[in-house]
Amino acid sequence: MLRGFLLISLLFTIAIIAVFGFRGQKSTGSPLEIFPDMVRQMKVRAQAP
């Protein structure tokens, strides 16, 4: 029982570190946004007549 709990908690910790990385580490990718801002969304432009 305890061995299973420790294994699950270890795997969970490794998964969290894999997703979020270590603190203070620079990332080359764009930030993870759950709800993206309107600034970076596609804009509809009017067609020229």
Residues 31 and 1: their CA atoms lie apart, in Å, by 38
Range of the structural domain that residue 44 is part of:
1-48
Identify the residue with better confidence: 45 or 23.
45
Question: Residues, the chain, total?
Answer: 49
Rounded to the nearest integer, the mean pLDDT of the chain is: 83
User: Which CB contacts under 8 angstroms, 24+ apart, belong to 32-39?
Assistant: none
**Identity of the amino acid at 30:** S
Q: Model confidence over 24-41: pLDDT tens digits? A: 777 777 777 777 777 777
pTM to 2 decimals?
0.47
Q: What is the tally of structural domains in the chain?
A: 1
